[in-house]
Amino acid sequence: MAEFETIRQTGAGARTTQIDEGLRAHMNKVYGLMSVAMLITGGVAFVVGNNDALLAQIFGTPLKWLVMFAPLIVVFGFSAMINRLSVGAAQAVFWLFSALMGLSISYIFAVFTGISIAQTFLVTAIAFAGLSLWGYTTKKDISGWGSFLIMGVIGLIVAMIVNIFLQSEAVMFAVSALGVLIFAGLTAYDTQSIKNEYIQHAAHGDQVWLGKSAIMGALRLYLDFLNMFMFLLQFMGGRE
């Protein structure tokens, strides 16, 4: 009996070690995919944002509405079709989405100074790293935050769409303040969710699921980072 108990504990310890190693590899892949997407977004935004003629053609015409809403359409379609896509196709759609996001936010280079954009990006990166690390390491279960944060995101989207027509600075200030708080919370929440989802599915060893899960996890953290950056830019950005 004692020998059986020793074997059982040894086997459990080996499985735990395998899960820990797999989790680290999974999270590294998530952050790697997210980083590549951010590079694509930043590159597209920088190139387009520093081309006055191209900016005028996009944001000075009705084409701006397509550019503004195309990423939203793609991300909703992507989430709905993820189970029918191969890992390679899902990753390609993620890159396409990140390029469209770069195009849609390229106007910031015409509105804000380059140094303020860089400073805001650095502050966002530090905040994101801290929040994500806390979400990964905390023993506290923050899954209960999810429904409140998602409701907050829906409220933000509605308020932002309405404010396109109202053009109220007070509404924009309130939306930006709430946006920073909501996406800060989502950064920690999504990190813990990605970690827990991996642990729950690791025993099955489904490589296709793991590949798609890494892409979707990267997408979630990418959106958290980008939205936190854009809302912080409203406070920290020095206007041209």
Instruction: Provide the pLDDT for residue 205.
Output: 60
Q: Which residues pair with 112 in a beta bridge?
A: 239
- pLDDT tens, residue order, the chain (240 aa): 444 344 344 444 555 666 678 889 999 999 999 999 999 999 999 999 999 888 988 888 888 888 888 888 898 888 888 888 888 999 999 999 999 999 999 999 999 999 999 999 999 999 999 999 999 999 999 988 988 999 999 999 898 888 888 888 888 888 889 999 999 999 999 999 999 988 887 766 666 677 888 999 999 999 999 999 999 998 887 776
Q: Which two tokens stand for residue 56?
A: 């005028």
Note the pTM of the prediction, 2 decimals. 0.87
* Average pLDDT of the chain, as a whole number: 87
d(CA 99, CA 40): 6
How far, in Å, CA of 76 to CA of 95, rounded? 15
The CA-atom distances, in angstroms, between 134 and each of 65, 91, 127, 184 are 37, 27, 11, 11
Within 10 angstroms of residue 191's Cβ, the number of other Cβ atoms is: 27
Q: What is the dihedral sign for C-alpha 179, 66, 77, 213?
A: negative
In the chain, the amino acid numbered 234 is Q
Amino acid occupying residue 171: V
> Distance (Å, rounded) from C-alpha 171 to C-alpha 81?
35
pLDDT given for residue 18 in this prediction: 65
The single residue listed with the structure tokens 């950064």 is 187
Token pair in block for residue 40: 């694509």
Instruction: Tell me how far apart the alpha carbons of residues 36 and 27 are, in angstroms, rounded to a whole number.
Output: 14
Tokens of 208: 């296709």
Residue labelled with tokens 């309405």: 162
Do residues 116 and 237 lie in contact, with contact meaning Cβ atoms separated by under 8 Å?
A: yes
H/E element holding 227? Answer: helix 207-236
Confidence (pLDDT) at 106 = 94
Q: How many CA atoms lie within 13 A of 4 on its CB side?
A: 1
In a 3-state reduction of DSSP, which class is residue 62? Answer: coil
Predicted local confidence at residue 172, as pLDDT:
87
Please answer whether residues 225 and 124 qualify as being in contact, where contact means their C-beta atoms are separated by less than 8 angstroms. Answer: yes
Distance CA 213, CA 199 (A): 12
SS3 214: helix
Q: Could you tell me which residues are beta bridge partners of residue 239?
A: 112
Could you give the CA distance from residue 110 to residue 219 in angstroms, rounded to a whole number?
27
